Chains A and B, each alone.
Chain A
């Protein structure tokens, strides 16, 4: 077989194929439920109800979507420039560490400046984690996929060290977690009584900002040019390495905001289970959003909904929660295939 480019893909093709990819994912989900001995329709219904069926469920989904919007944006920004940042997990924890460092110290700042300073410091920390692998890529040609992945493991061990040593909560009863943040260092709830904090609003704001940067600024143009064809971009006078470093600053900073928002908004302290792989899931979020910053918002809510829904479903039905990870992996693979087939036709021979 070979692939033949389609000059002007029809609207039906561009919408139909992604919809078909999601439909195939649902079919696979039904088959998995059957394998687990559960009723497929019941399982799917329980997932949907568990994700958006009540005010509590919906808020839970939005809370879970918040860090995913940040990591999804971090990945979308980087992948757009063909910078393969798989290290959002490490950058998230860098942001979380800085948030705890500042938030538990006696800074004497009033809440708003304190939150601003913490957020900016967290972003710098996240960027600082991504810069070394990017410099290794631009200077020595070391593949950033492997280095950013390996740094994730190093960072988790570093957090483990901090939680058992310098940052240990003396009142933690042996459970490795950090001292709690001071009250003025916490992100308040958007509406009193509703379990949704300002981190969610910040995530939406970040998505809009990234969209503005990508579509309305020179940097955004340069990022796209580097991603489409680095050689041509260089020929056109774009400083490719400089653009990659700027992209890394933005990407690492966004991933760090996920850690900042989880610590300051949701948990109030740092622990080793702060992120159940938000950094890696960000890759799925970004791909399902077709790397579009605004698309990251619905994509993150969808992915969060599957996790929250599957969690609540597995309590009622006998289907393990890992069905969520399987469904997302299947959705990812079908989606990248569907997007390819909107632009190419498969020919025999």
Chain B
């Protein structure tokens, strides 16, 4: 047990936690926006892949880092538009379309990567976002290194969480969005465009998922690998449930989850890691996600019209 306390007291552990949480925060907020409007977006896993790939490829070809983020977001929005068109006006199964979008976005990334770099064995690197210590704040012991010596993209993730929360709960747009996710018929009777709002939510949400993916290549790893998203999208879907569809709680969930992830990596280096096979540590994030779903299952805060298509003609 003492090993765990030693790890918890290091600044590098908390810095890693915040770093690991950042892509999850982007993608979880993206999924949350979709689901709040009533659409389950299982395209998330593939959209994160296309975001990771597009962001990396743009920077690799010479674009500035922020342009890479924008390119990733645009790619995500294109796949979001595809998902939205099929699931909102056409009302097709959100499960099937989502998985189809994940497969299409993933294979498009891999296809293009192979087309551009046919013979490469070790993936080329780019110069990623560098830590940007905030003057003053970054000098606070422990907290400074953990919270205020991160990259700009990490700060952006936390600002975004605030913005999403404000828009959802303090603006007419947020009210409209929640209305179409809870009771689309009533929202339509108020003169709101259910189709427009839902499509907008899916497109914007998908853009954010792609930014989450681009964090992996532009801020965390500096190269694009196959399988690099490795289930993070599915974990974000669990985080939305864990956060009871609220941005603040979802961010807390992502940080808690990231802390476990950072902890398991460090525990592998200790005496515990010598006894327990490393696969058990790697399983922990997925087991925790399932546990989170089970713990939160009793709370009935699901958007009431989640996964229910809305067709004006029908009653």
Interface set of A (CB-CB < 8 Å, partner B): 1-4, 32, 35-36, 84, 86, 136, 140-143, 145-147, 149-151, 153-154, 157-158, 160-161, 164-165, 280, 283-284, 287, 318, 320-323, 325-326, 328-330, 332-333, 336-337, 340, 347
Contacts and interface: CB of A to CB of B under 8 A. Distances in A.
Nearest to A286: B96
B110 A160 contact: no
Given A153-B231, A318-B118, A325-B111, 15 more contacts: A2-B312, A146-B237, A146-B289, A153-B283, A153-B286, A160-B279, A320-B115, A322-B107, A326-B107, A332-B96, A332-B103, A333-B101, A336-B92, A336-B100, A337-B90
Contacts of A340: 90-92
B293 A147 contact: yes
A320 B91 CA distance: 33
A280 B92 contact: no
Contacts of B230: 153
Contacts of A333: 82, 86, 97, 100-101, 104
A329 B293 contact: no
Contact of B107 (A143, A150, A161, A325): A325
B294 A140 contact: yes
A164 B277 CA distance: 10
Interface in B102-121: 103-104, 106-108, 110-111, 114-115, 118
B99 interface: yes
Identify whether the interface residues of B are mostly helix, strand, loop, or mixed.
Answer: helix
B106 A325 contact: yes
Interface of B: 42, 82, 86, 89-93, 95-97, 99-101, 103-104, 106-108, 110-111, 114-115, 118, 230-231, 234-235, 237-238, 241, 277, 279-280, 282-283, 286-287, 289-290, 293-294, 297-298, 311-313
A288 B205 CA distance: 29
Nearest to B106: A325
A150 B86 contact: no
A86 B110 CA distance: 22
Nearest to B293: A142
Given A146-B238, A150-B286, A320-B114, A336 B104 contact: no
B92 A337 contact: yes
15 contacts: A2-B311, A36-B115, A136-B294, A142-B293, A150-B235, A151-B286, A161-B279, A284-B103, A318-B118, A322-B110, A325-B103, A329-B104, A336-B93, A336-B100, A340-B91
Contacts of B101: 329, 333
A283 B99 contact: yes
Contacts of B287: 154
A153 B45 CA distance: 13
Contact of A326 (B90, B104, B277): B104
B93 A140 contact: no
Contacts of A1: 89
Contact of A329 (B100, B231, B234): B100
B107 A142 contact: no
A4 B313 contact: yes
B111 A320 contact: yes
A347 B108 CA distance: 32
Contact of B297 (A140, A321, A347): A140
9 closest A-B pairs by CB: A325-B107, A320-B114, A329-B104, A322-B111, A161-B279, A329-B103, A140-B297, A157-B279, A322-B110
A281 to B, nearest CB: 9
A287 B96 CA distance: 8
A3 B97 contact: no
A160 B279 CA distance: 7
Contacts of B283: 153-154, 157-158
Nearest to A1: B89
Contacts of B289: 146, 150
B92 A147 contact: no
A284 B107 CA distance: 14
B99 A86 contact: yes
A337 B114 CA distance: 30
A227 to B, nearest CB: 12
B293 A146 contact: yes
A142 B96 contact: no
B241 A143 contact: yes
Contact of A320 (B100, B110, B277, B293): B110
Contacts of B95: 84, 145
Contact of B103 (A2, A164, A280, A321): A280
Select the residue from B82, B115, B238 with max chain A CB neighbours within 10 A.
Answer: B115
A21 to B, nearest CB: 13
Given A330-B104, A336-B93, A3 B111 contact: no
A81 B107 CA distance: 29
A124 to B, nearest CB: 22
A165 B103 contact: no
B279 A140 contact: no
A76 to B, nearest CB: 13
